[in-house]
Amino acid sequence: MIKYMWAAYIVTWLVHLGYLGFLTSKASKIRKEAEELRRN
Contact residues: another protein, CB under 8 A? 1-2, 4-5, 7-9, 11-12, 15-16, 19-20, 23, 26-27, 30, 33-34, 37, 40
Q: Of all helices (H) and strands (E), which one includes residue 34? A: helix 2-39
Minimum distance, C-beta of residue 13 to another protein, in the bound complex (Å): 9
Minimum distance, C-beta of residue 1 to another protein, in the bound complex (Å): 5
DSSP 1: -
In whole angstroms, give the CA distance from residue 35 to residue 20.
23
DSSP 40: -
Minimum distance, C-beta of residue 9 to another protein, in the bound complex (Å): 6
